[in-house]
Amino acid sequence: MSELIAPSAAPRRPTRAGTVIRRLLRRPLAVTGLVIIAIVVIAAVFAPWVAPYDPGEQFFDGLTLEGAPLPPNGAFLFGTDLLGRDLLSRLIFGAQTSLVIGVVANGIAVFIGALVGIVAGYFRGWIGTILMRFTDLMMSFPALLLAIVLAAIFKPSLWIVAMVIAMVNWVQVARVIYTETRSLAERDFIEAERSLGASSARILWSHILPHLVSTIVVWATLGISTTVLLEATLSFLGIGVQPPTASWGNIIFENQTYFASAPWLVFIPGAAIILLALAFNFLGDALRDILDPTQQGRSA
Amino acid sequence: MSIEIPLLSVRNLVTTVSTATGPRPVVDDLSFDLAPGETLCIAGESGSGKSMTALSLMQLLPQPMARVASGSAVFKGRDLFTLPKEAMRQVRGNDIAMIFQEPMTSLNPVLTIGRQLIETITAHESTSLSQARQRALELLNQVQIPEAARRLQQYPYELSGGMRQRVMIAMALSQNPDILIADEPTTALDVTVQAQILSLIRKLQAETGTAVIMITHDMGVVAEMANRVLVMKDGRAVEAGPVRDIFAMPQAPYTQALLAAVPRLGEMTGTTMPKRAVRTWEQTAPKEVVDVDNLTVRFPIRSGFFGRVERRVHAVEGIGFKLYRGETLALVGESGCGKSTTGKALLNLVPFTGDVRIAGTHTQGLRSDQMKPVRRDIQMIFQDPFASLDPRMRVGDLVAEPLRIHGLATGSELTDRVAYLFKRVGLSADLLERYPHEFSGGQRQRICIARALSLSPKIIVADESVSALDVSIQAQVLDLLQDIQNETGIAYLFISHDMGVVEQISHRVAVMYLGRFVEVGTRAQVFDNPQHPYTKALIAAVPVPDPERAPKRFSRLTGDIPSSVRPLSYEPPTAIYRDVGDGHLVAELS
């Protein structure tokens, strides 16, 4: 029978963790992303050993005689800030804060958002209505206002800030995932699964979640830069990470008024945020393609 | 006709699409002529390049992915492929017009019919608005749309599929084109509506003298419409000639195979069993596996802030039937008649009232965990094999999944069972590791069958399971289904709109209309002696793949099937059936 002939000469490929990593390493952009992320993580974890100076120390020779910050030079690679502190050291210590905010807080936000969206989108009914009306309610508050209220109630600390950011940022994710789950749940193959007797848990875990991976990955990477900046905003308003603790966001906000005379103080931490977000984006993009079997061989 | 100078002369057309491995021809060295006023049917199965040919002529290829690589298409002394963009835009619509397969998506949903028609008219000629309106009205009358003036104010969603296709034809004809290209214009429509549209195209062609290039996969449509036929396969012309010659003496083996695969209505007359049945199961031990009594499914239509139920769709209205071991009961009807809903109700996928017994178990109101053991007895094969398999799962896992869900096999036993199922449906077990998108439609439907079979059910509900497939593949899948029945005595509820297919596969037939059975009987009773006018209309509307039969003049059921949306207070009249002999039931006309 001609039907027995293989449809195409594609090689067989088991998608397991090992192969995912191997295929990831074959993509230059993904490798770039991984390297940048690795550098930031290592710098953050080993900050006390990596950083050339103490981030809080105000150097006597860190300012010009007029009291202006120093541009990048031999002693201070990235220059110094308004108080004569070494910018490179502050960036390295700030990476700790920013990673917690950008990865942990954002990760929690995406997790909550995805969970709410999937449950509301798949089960619909009264539970879906309650969840989505609550999401709309959260959305209707300006995020910053909400964050300020939350941060004012609790005593500001890094972990409180992370929690506040997660509480504010899950709503958009929930909205997007909700819509997508709803349309997925109406597709034929989900009905086919139900007719086989598959439980809701099975359908959600093995047939709906895999299709949402790309959306979740995109939102997770996009969220990194926005959460880092939201943390900076909160710090600027005095309810975020408290000085003298450094974070990439509050370095920018501390220095933005002197942007014209000391541009490196804004540019360099800004570039760090963009680079980190971009790195996660590269990684997320590659992961999405690798995890989607229908994309195989198209853009590899 | 062929002595005249051709209106359009296509020579050595090659259209390529770019792939990862370089350009691949989808139309390869195609040549044909089109005489004024004639109908040329381009026939072929999916992937034969017939639609690409049409898009090439219209210069509407999805560029830069696909492009015309070489060849010429001379129309009125000009080669269409060398025309500048603006000149080609003038040709489109003015001289050559096209209608597409999907009338649901080719109209803009947010503009009224009138606005869209007037826009088409004024795009090519400068007329006043009132003149354009007048012309739009004329066009709608020409395509026989009732209440044309009111339709101008309506939006596409307010019209049925058939009406929308009429509007599309009206738009295409607005500039009196010399050539009308119709790409599968009736494939998405019901048979009775298809018959209306086909006769409309014939009528308009006689009135206006437009030449028609009709692209279709349906040899019945070819026989009814064509003067000449061009059979395509894999981008190449396999055979071309006058329609009578092609049907009477097909030369190419492919044409012969294609024609042989077409189910011909009436070819089973005088027999009582399905085409491939080898033995009768019900005589040895008539065992009913499904018993349905007074099944009713109504969907509420909610509106307003509090979601108050305003009206109800009466999808299925008090039907009853029995299905025996080894038997195929066909449920025939047109879209919206409730046949798919009936199938879903049997699997408890929609809430229903009435009594349904599956292998002895009453299923009404069962929760999904209570329903689970019942699902081992009844399984379903869906219509669209491209949509009913999770694209992210390997096919081996997909076939193993039912066994895993019901905990029936693990480890090597599971692997063996899946490999066996794959062989059973004619697929090689080497393919287990692949993903659904790597398979053709027919292969995917085989995978769906393997999934359904994996639990060894007593009943399979096949919901339009072959209608998305090409005829030759369709024939193979039907054979497979019947072979499995011969072997295992499985019962099928075969839901279909295609009378030709139903005639081949079924023992008994139930004709459904607006949620009710209008006629029930053995296949021989219903097909050889149809009693209800709707059954007669359905059978008459099927295009016959025989050009010798003069095109039928349809004394139809004009217009559309009425809606089954009813106000809350609506109480359906009780159906009364008359037995016209040997259990052949016909609904009384109310």
Q: Which residues pair with B240 in a beta bridge?
A: B230
What's the pLDDT band for B34 if we cut at 50, 70, 90?
Answer: very high
- Does the beta carbon of B438 lie under 8 angstroms from any beta carbon of chain A? yes
Structure tokens at B128: 């006043």
How does pLDDT run across B379-394, given as a tens digit for each residue?
999 888 888 899 888 8
Determine the pLDDT at residue A300. Answer: 36
Q: Is position A207 within any domain?
A: yes
**Residue A265 parent element (H or E):** helix A264-291
- Residue type at A175? R
- Does the beta carbon of A206 lie under 8 angstroms from any beta carbon of chain B? yes
Determine the pLDDT at residue A6. Answer: 41
Q: d(Cα B286, Cα A200) in Å, to the nearest integer? A: 37
Mean pLDDT taken over chain B: 86
Determine the pLDDT at residue B440. Answer: 84
Contact by Cβ (8 Å): B187, B144: no
Structure tokens at B498: 């295609």
Determine the pLDDT at residue A180. Answer: 93
Directed axis angle between helix A28-45 and helix A264-291, to 10°?
130
- Does the beta carbon of A2 lie under 8 angstroms from any beta carbon of chain B? no
- Kindly provide the b/e burial profile for residues A226-264, where b requires at least 16 CB atoms within 10 angstroms of the residue's own CB: bbbbbbbbbbeeebbbeeebbbbbbbbbbbeeeeeebeb
CB contact under 8 A, B379 and A13: no
What's the pLDDT band for B279 if we cut at 50, 70, 90?
Answer: low
- Does the beta carbon of B21 lie under 8 angstroms from any beta carbon of chain A? no
Q: Is position A288 within any domain?
A: yes
Q: Which residues pair with B381 in a beta bridge?
A: B462
- Does the beta carbon of A267 lie under 8 angstroms from any beta carbon of chain B? no
Question: For the residues B405-410, what does the mean pLDDT come to?
Answer: 88
SS3 per residue for B413-482: HHHHHHHHHHHHCCCCHHHHHCCHHHCCHHHHHHHHHHHHHCCCCCEEEEECCCCCCCHHHHHHHHHHHH
The enclosing domain of A96 has a CATH number of 1.10.3720.10
The dihedral built from the CA positions of residue B505, B292, B322 and B281, taken in this order, carries a sign that is positive
Q: Is position A7 within any domain?
A: no
The DSSP symbol for A294 reads G
Q: Is position A2 within any domain?
A: no
Contacting residues for A157 by C-beta, under 8 A, at least 6 apart: A242
- Kindly provide the b/e burial profile for residues A46-72, where b requires at least 16 CB atoms within 10 angstroms of the residue's own CB: ebeeebebebeeebeebbeeeeebbee
CB contact under 8 A, A7 and B426: no
> Which strands make up the sheet holding B378-381, listed edge to edge?
B378-381, B459-463, B491-496, B328-332, B508-513, B516-522, B585-587, B577-579
Contact by Cβ (8 Å): B517, B329: no
Query: Which of A146-150, B228-232, B544-548 has the largest mean confidence?
Result: B228-232
Give residue A91's domain range: 22-48+83-299
3-state secondary structure of A213: helix
CB contact under 8 A, A199 and B368: yes
CB contact under 8 A, A13 and B433: yes
Q: Is position A249 within any domain?
A: yes
Distance of CA B281 to the CA centre of its chain: 31
Q: Say whether the ipTM exceeds 0.95.
A: no
Pairs from B478-484 (Cβ < 8 Å, separation ≥ 24): B478/B504, B478/B505, B479/B276, B480/B425, B480/B426, B480/B446, B480/B449, B481/B449, B481/B505, B482/B274, B482/B275, B482/B276, B482/B277, B483/B276, B484/B424, B484/B449, B484/B453
Q: Which residues pair with B579 in a beta bridge?
A: B585
Determine the pLDDT at residue A103. Answer: 84
Q: d(Cα B38, Cα B211) in Å, to the nearest integer? A: 5
Contact by Cβ (8 Å): B351, B515: no
Q: Is position A272 within any domain?
A: yes
Question: For the residues B175-199, what does the mean pLDDT come to?
Answer: 85
Contact by Cβ (8 Å): B492, B319: no
For residue B551, pLDDT beyond 70: no
Contact by Cβ (8 Å): A122, A148: no
Contacting residues for A53 by C-beta, under 8 A, at least 6 apart: A59, A85, A86, A88, A89
Contact by Cβ (8 Å): A104, A113: no
Determine the pLDDT at residue B346. Answer: 92
From A212, which residue of chain B is nearest by alpha-carbon distance? B392
Determine the pLDDT at residue B8. Answer: 92
Percent of chain B predicted with pLDDT > 90: 27
Query: Which of A50-59, A237-246, B473-482, B561-570 has the largest mean confidence?
Result: B473-482
How does pLDDT run across B78-93, given as a tens digit for each residue?
898 888 988 898 888 8
* Cα dihedral B387/B392/B397/B399 (nearest 10): 0
What's the pLDDT band for B1 if we cut at 50, 70, 90?
Answer: very low
Least confident of B199-208, B372-381, B486-495: B199-208
Output the tens digit of pLDDT for each of chain A's 300 residues: 334 434 444 444 445 677 778 888 888 888 999 999 899 999 888 888 888 888 877 877 777 777 778 888 877 888 888 788 888 888 899 888 888 888 888 999 999 999 999 999 998 888 888 999 999 998 888 878 877 887 778 777 788 888 888 888 899 999 999 999 999 988 889 989 988 888 888 999 889 998 898 888 888 877 887 787 788 778 777 777 777 788 888 888 888 788 888 888 888 888 888 888 888 888 888 887 877 776 654 443
Directed axis angle between helix B161-173 and helix B113-124, to 10°?
20
For residue B136, pLDDT beyond 50: yes
From B436, which residue of chain A is nearest by alpha-carbon distance? A294
- Does the beta carbon of A191 lie under 8 angstroms from any beta carbon of chain B? yes
Question: For the residues B257-286, what does the mean pLDDT come to?
Answer: 72
Question: For the residues B531-545, what does the mean pLDDT come to?
Answer: 86
Query: Which of A283-287, B5-9, B193-197 has the largest mean confidence?
Result: B5-9
Mutate to test the interface with B, among A186, A188, A196 (most CBs of B within 10 A): A196
Mutate to test the interface with A, among B392, B397, B421 (most CBs of A within 10 A): B392
Domain count, chain A: 1
- Chain A neighbors of B440, CB-CB under 8 A: 7
CB contact under 8 A, A196 and B375: yes
The minimum CA-CA distance between B393 and chain A, rounded to whole Å, is: 8
Q: Which of A126, A108, A102, A107 lies closest to A269, judged by CA? A: A102
The minimum CA-CA distance between B173 and chain A, rounded to whole Å, is: 37
Q: Is position A87 within any domain?
A: yes
CB contact under 8 A, A197 and B437: no
Determine the pLDDT at residue B557. Answer: 44
DSSP state string for B361-428: EE-TT--HHHHTTGGGTEEEE-S-TTTSS-TTS-HHHHHHHHHHHTT---HHHHHHHHHHHHHHTT--
Q: Is position A69 within any domain?
A: no
Q: Which of B389, B401, B438 sits opposite A10 (nearest CB)?
A: B438
For residue B103, pLDDT beyond 80: no
- Does the beta carbon of A293 lie under 8 angstroms from any beta carbon of chain B? yes
Q: Which of B387, B437, B438 sits opposite A189 (nearest CB)?
A: B387
- Residue type at A169? N
